Amino acid sequence: MQQRRSHKKSRRGCLNCKKWHTKCDESGPPCNNCTLRNAKCEYAWAKNDKIIALAQSRKSSSSSGSSSGERSLSEPGGLVMKECRRMLELELMHWWSTSTYKSLCSVPEDHHYMQFIMPQEALRYDFLLNGIFVAAALHRSTMTPEPEARGYFNIAMELYDRASRSFRTHLEKMNPSTHHILYIYSSMTAFINIAFSQCNFSEGNELNTLSTVAVAFDLLNGSINIAQTDFQRLLDSPVPIRAYLNYGIATDVTLHPDTRIALSRLQNLNELYHSSRYQGTTPASSDELNIATTPLSDTTVSTTSVTSAKPFEAAIGLLKLCFAEEQRALLRGFSFVFPGGAGPDFTAAVKAYDPMALLIIMHWTVLIERAGNEYWWAKDLGTRLAIGIWKAMQLFPPRSPSPALLTPEWGESISWLVNLTTSRLKRTAMASTRLFRPFLASAQRAPRPIARLVAGQAGGRRFLNTDTAPVLYSAHAKVKGARTGHVEGDDLRVDLTMAKALGGAGDKGKTNPEELFAAGYGACFQSAMNAAAASMGTKMPSDPEDSVVSTTVHLIGDMKKLDMGIRVDMKVSIRGLEKDQIEKIVEKAKEVCPYSRATRGNITTNVEVEQL
């Protein structure tokens, strides 16, 4: 009988083979056994070597005698391992408390919480402690050369995995004492996710940046959900939420004129894009963001129905607030609240490569590119994200482009964005203009209904070229004496007076520019309502007393700083119609009223409807 041969013992096999009591070929990860069983292959020494390699990399180059292909320590002992771990954690906590925490602060009140309270709470919650270590390790990896930088990155990956598992466990058992801790960690994860992308980015990999930002949107939406479970308790917690609220909200009065025009144009494009008349021309979309990594021919792309405009309108409103806050410069990095505030429906549109959602995000990249000068984890993020959007548009062009994509305004928006970005994005944008050429060519060959929609000859939201459109009527007025003078027109003679609220006399029988504007806006809007009702087949009251439009024009801002604007409150009262009928008429009137179209994006107009 042949004698059994003993095999050479080894303690360096993978963990699965040890569990299965099988001989590991030690060729992995993955080893042959794990490959055959489709199992995740993991070696005990691999985790330890990350820390040992990081410790070894700090030694002087003269002390390293082994070749690059050999491990620093073949089988590290327990004491060495613990010592290295303690030194690393001490270093990371020091780095957090002296530097990294500043990159997550927005207002002065944040500093005490991030620098002192968070580390104290981290002693009680391991996921928060590991989250601090992850942020610090990623920060260090951006400031050190290879291979030390890779060591910090690997440690961050391992600790983030531990923190995530622990966080999910605590989240299932959330209680009043852990509520604010879970909220602050969930907020951190979005920025940590972006930081991983920052540390592991390579040229030409911009599509992954778009995927990363979409994940950050989801993470911040989750953070908002946690906050909403008990917002009052969050206000009473050590998290300085009240400090943010005390700063108030920036107004769009401070917006730069070019920015105001760009956002107004974006809002108009959104209205055209979501008009119900364009259901047959909606863009194709993918279900998963990571589908961008596969060839277009291998994907199944479906045409979706027109999505609701409300999430997009809310996103544009928040974007306007972000630009205004950047101009005010009180809340540092306020633009990063956009992903959480935009909401899950808008996030879903971004993941589906909806062209309008991507255009809105491209406007946001202008802000985060500027913020990247202050935050290490967002450096060049705006440029990389914008290039990723360009590439996504190339991979997933609309099967049948919406009329919004065929208008000059769409091209003007792209031009405005490109002019504000770096030369790297400009090169990519120039190379990507071939994406829009087929759209413009197809507009000339478009079927008659589509051509009419683009030209603005059919119903719905229309774009009027105010430079070349034919003149229907011209009104002329000559003013002398400014606000206390006299106005003469072809059929007008009006004396002006300064309102008492502005320090003037407020003479009876005289008017002021705000009253004239209120009168003109109200009359024009009511006329538009009559036209809109007729087009909808709804009969308006014949008695003028049964249809009233009351318009109040507010002069707002600061006269001393020469920083003023206008806000309009309008009340529409109609007898004989249901409230929902009145609301539909009002919405239609907003699309056709020249005053509404001229002031859209520049003046806030609040319209209230009631039945008489």
- Does residue 279 fall inside a structural domain? yes
Per-residue pLDDT at 108? 92
Q: For the chain, how many structural domains are there in total?
A: 5
Backbone Cα Rg of the chain: 31
pLDDT(109) > 70:
yes
118 and 176, same domain (yes or no): yes
397 and 495, same domain (yes or no): no
404 and 317, same domain (yes or no): yes
- Does residue 461 fall inside a structural domain? no
Contact 265, 257 (CB under 8 A): no
pLDDT(171) > 90:
yes
pLDDT class for 10, splitting at 50, 70, 90? low
Of the residues 214, 244, 274, which one is the last residue of a structural domain?
244
pLDDT class for 58, splitting at 50, 70, 90? low
Contact 220, 193 (CB under 8 A): no
We report the CATH number of the domain holding residue 581 as 3.30.300.20
500 and 536, same domain (yes or no): no
pLDDT(47) > 80:
no
Rounded Cα distance between 299 and 289, Å, is: 12
Per-residue pLDDT at 425? 52
Of the residues 213, 244, 275, which one is the last residue of a structural domain?
244
- Does residue 68 fall inside a structural domain? no
More confident residue, 160 or 56: 160
Domain of residue 401: give its range.
251-455
Tens of pLDDT, residues 144-156: 888 888 889 989 9
Tens of pLDDT, residues 454-483: 333 333 344 455 555 678 888 889 999 998
505 and 518, same domain (yes or no): no
101 and 232, same domain (yes or no): yes
224 and 113, same domain (yes or no): yes
- Does residue 174 fall inside a structural domain? yes
Sheet (strand 604-611) strand order: 547-558, 563-574, 604-611
28 and 126, same domain (yes or no): no
pLDDT(444) > 80:
no
- Does residue 94 fall inside a structural domain? yes
- Does residue 553 fall inside a structural domain? yes
Rounded Cα distance between 597 and 584, Å, is: 17
Per-residue pLDDT at 454? 38
pTM of the complete model: 0.58
Residue type, 231: F
Residue 298 carries which DSSP code?
G
pLDDT(205) > 80:
no
231 and 336, same domain (yes or no): no
pLDDT(427) > 70:
no
522 and 578, same domain (yes or no): yes
Per-residue pLDDT at 372? 85
51 CB-near residues (< 8 Å, 6+ apart): 81, 84, 85, 88, 155
* Residue 134: closest CA among 189, 198, 212: 189
363 and 432, same domain (yes or no): yes
Q: Which two tokens stand for residue 427?
A: 């090169």
404 and 532, same domain (yes or no): no
- Does residue 3 fall inside a structural domain? no
- Does residue 64 fall inside a structural domain? no
